Structure 1
Amino acid sequence: MTRLVWFRNDLRCADNPALWHACSQPSEPVIAVVYDCPQQWQKHGLGPRRIAFMRNAMLALQQELQALNIPLLIIPAGTFAGSLNSLQRLIVQLDIRSVSFNIEYEVNERHRDIEFSRWCRRQQVEVHKFHDQCVIPPGEVLTQQGQPFKVFTPFKRAWFNRSEAFYQAPLPRPQARSPQPELQQLAAALVQPAPLTAEPDPLWPADEEHAHQCLQNFAAEQMSRYQTQRDFPALDATSRLSPYLAIGLLSPRQCLHTALLLNDGLQTGGKPGIDSWINELVWREFYRHLLVAFPDLCKHKAFRPETEAVPWREHAEDFAAWCEGRTGYPIIDAAQRQLREQGWMHNRLRMISAMFLTKHLLIDWRKGEAFFNYWLMDADLASNNGGWQWSASTGADGAPYFRIFNPTSQSQKFDPQGEFIGRYVPELLPITAKNRHEPDSFQRRQCHYPPVIVEHKFARQRALNAFKNSLNLSPVMADSGESSNE
Structure 2
Amino acid sequence: MQLIWLRSDLRLHDNTALSAATQRGPTVAVYLLSPRQWQAHDDAPCKVDFWLRNLEQLSGDLARLNIPLLIREAPSWEQAPQVLLQLCRELAIETLHVNEEYGIHESRRDTAVASLLKSQGVNFHSYLDQLLFRPGSVLTKSGGYFQVFSQFRKVCYNRLHSALPPQLAAPRMQATLKIKADAVPRQVEDFSTPDPHLQALWPAGENVAQQRLAHFAEAQLDHYQAERDFPAKPGTSQLSPYLAAGVLSPRQCLHAALQNNRGEFASGSPGAVTWINELLWREFYKHILVGYPQVSRHQAFRPETEAVAWRNAPDELAAWQQARTGLPIIDAAMRQLLETGWMHNRLRMIVAMFLTKNLLIDWRLGERFFMRHLIDGDLAANNGGWQWSSSTGTDSAPYFRIFNPLSQSQRFDSQGTFIRHWLPELAGLNEKDIHNPAAMGGLFGVAGYPPPMVDLSMSRERALAAFKNLPSRVVAERYRE
**Please, what TM-score do these two structures have when normalized by structure 1?**
0.93
Question: Would the aligned equivalents of 2:44 and 2:377 in 1 still touch at CA under 8 Å?
Answer: no
| Structure 2: distance between partners of 1:414 and 1:300 | 32
Give the root-mean-square deviation of aligned CA atoms. 1.9
Farther-moved stretch of structure 1 (463-472 vs 353-362): 463-472
What residue in structure 2 maps to residue 313 of structure 1? 311
Residue of 130, 137, 140 corresponding to 1:140? 137
Question: Would the aligned equivalents of 2:426 and 2:446 in 1 still touch at CA under 8 Å?
Answer: no
| Structure 2: distance between partners of 1:34 and 1:253 | 23
Distance 1:443 1:21, change over 3 A: farther
Distance 1:291 1:84, change over 3 A: same
Deviations 1:332-354 (A, max 9, x none): 00000000011000000000000
What residue in structure 2 maps to residue 8 of structure 1? 7
Give the 3-state SS of the residue equivalent to 1:129 in structure 2. strand
What residue in structure 2 maps to residue 301 of structure 1? 299
Residue of 388, 391, 395 corresponding to 1:390? 388
The one-letter code sitting in structure 2 at the alignment partner of 1:468 is K
Distance 1:63 1:409, change over 3 A: same
What residue in structure 2 maps to residue 484 of structure 1? none
Unmatched tracts of structure 1, length 5 or more: 482-486
What is the deviation of 1:195?
Answer: 4.2
Distance 1:477 1:15, change over 3 A: closer
| Structure 2: distance between partners of 1:165 and 1:128 | 27
What residue in structure 2 maps to residue 23 of structure 1? 22
| Structure 2: distance between partners of 1:196 and 1:83 | 22
Question: Would the aligned equivalents of 1:359 and 1:404 in 2 still touch at CA under 8 Å?
Answer: yes
Residue of 44, 51, 55 corresponding to 1:54? 51
What is the deviation of 1:475?
Answer: 11
The one-letter code sitting in structure 1 at the alignment partner of 2:354 is F
What residue in structure 1 maps to residue 414 of structure 2? 416
Given the alignment of the two structures, is residue 338 of structure 1 paired with residue 336 of structure 2, yes or no?
Answer: yes
Question: Would the aligned equivalents of 1:39 and 1:78 in 2 still touch at CA under 8 Å?
Answer: yes
The one-letter code sitting in structure 2 at the alignment partner of 1:115 is A
Given the alignment of the two structures, is residue 71 of structure 1 paired with residue 64 of structure 2, yes or no?
Answer: no
Question: Would the aligned equivalents of 1:232 and 1:414 in 2 still touch at CA under 8 Å?
Answer: yes
What is the deviation of 1:418?
Answer: 0.4
What is the deviation of 1:76?
Answer: 2.4
What is the deviation of 1:167?
Answer: 2.5
Question: Would the aligned equivalents of 1:36 and 1:55 in 2 still touch at CA under 8 Å?
Answer: no
Given the alignment of the two structures, is residue 171 of structure 1 paired with residue 168 of structure 2, yes or no?
Answer: yes
Question: Would the aligned equivalents of 2:323 and 2:331 in 1 still touch at CA under 8 Å?
Answer: yes
The one-letter code sitting in structure 2 at the alignment partner of 1:19 is L
Question: Would the aligned equivalents of 1:335 and 1:349 in 2 still touch at CA under 8 Å?
Answer: yes
Deviations 1:443-469 (A, max 9, x none): 963332111111111000000001100
What is the deviation of 1:123?
Answer: 2.0
Farther-moved stretch of structure 1 (436-445 vs 147-156): 436-445
Question: Would the aligned equivalents of 2:304 and 2:472 in 1 still touch at CA under 8 Å?
Answer: no
Residue correspondence of structure 1 range 193-208 to structure 2 within 5 A: 195-196=185-186, 201-208=199-206
Residue of 203, 207, 210 corresponding to 1:209? 207
| Structure 1: distance between partners of 2:272 and 2:325 | 36
The one-letter code sitting in structure 2 at the alignment partner of 1:280 is E
Give the 3-state SS of the residue equivalent to 1:202 in structure 2. helix
What residue in structure 2 maps to residue 374 of structure 1? 372
What is the deviation of 1:168?
Answer: 2.5
What is the deviation of 1:208?
Answer: 0.9
| Structure 1: distance between partners of 2:26 and 2:133 | 31
| Structure 2: distance between partners of 1:444 and 1:341 | 28
What is the deviation of 1:480?
Answer: 7.2
Give the 3-state SS of the residue equivalent to 1:128 in structure 2. strand
What is the deviation of 1:435?
Answer: 0.9
| Structure 2: distance between partners of 1:119 and 1:204 | 38
Give the 3-state SS of the residue equivalent to 1:127 in structure 2. strand
Question: Would the aligned equivalents of 1:136 and 1:163 in 2 still touch at CA under 8 Å?
Answer: no
| Structure 2: distance between partners of 1:418 and 1:100 | 50
| Structure 1: distance between partners of 2:443 and 2:417 | 18
What residue in structure 2 maps to residue 245 of structure 1? 243
What is the deviation of 1:83?
Answer: 2.8
Distance 1:57 1:8, change over 3 A: same
What residue in structure 1 maps to residue 449 of structure 2? 449
| Structure 2: distance between partners of 1:137 and 1:29 | 28
Give the 3-state SS of the residue equivalent to 1:31 in structure 2. strand
Deviations 1:257-301 (A, max 9, x none): 100111111111121110010010010000001101011110000
Give the 3-state SS of the residue equivalent to 1:375 in structure 2. coil
| Structure 2: distance between partners of 1:69 and 1:464 | 61
Residue of 419, 423, 426 corresponding to 1:425? 423
| Structure 2: distance between partners of 1:422 and 1:444 | 20
| Structure 2: distance between partners of 1:283 and 1:112 | 26
Farther-moved stretch of structure 1 (379-388 vs 431-440): 431-440
Given the alignment of the two structures, is residue 161 of structure 1 paired with residue 158 of structure 2, yes or no?
Answer: yes
Deviations 1:82-104 (A, max 9, x none): 23221110111211111111000
Deviations 1:427-456 (A, max 9, x none): 111111221011124396333211111111
Give the 3-state SS of the residue equivalent to 2:287 in structure 1. helix
User: Percent identity among equivalent residues?
Assistant: 48
Deviations 1:175-196 (A, max 9, x none): 111212x2x14xx6xxx86644
What residue in structure 2 maps to residue 89 of structure 1? 86
| Structure 1: distance between partners of 2:330 and 2:299 | 26
The one-letter code sitting in structure 1 at the alignment partner of 2:165 is Q
**Please, what TM-score do these two structures have when normalized by structure 2?**
0.94
Give the 3-state SS of the residue equivalent to 2:442 in structure 1. helix
Given the alignment of the two structures, is residue 406 of structure 1 paired with residue 404 of structure 2, yes or no?
Answer: yes
Distance 1:444 1:311, change over 3 A: same
Give the 3-state SS of the residue equivalent to 1:470 in structure 2. coil
| Structure 2: distance between partners of 1:437 and 1:51 | 35
Give the 3-state SS of the residue equivalent to 1:32 in structure 2. strand
| Structure 2: distance between partners of 1:248 and 1:437 | 38
What residue in structure 1 maps to residue 435 of structure 2? 437
Give the 3-state SS of the residue equivalent to 1:75 in structure 2. strand
Distance 1:451 1:211, change over 3 A: same
Distance 1:303 1:171, change over 3 A: same
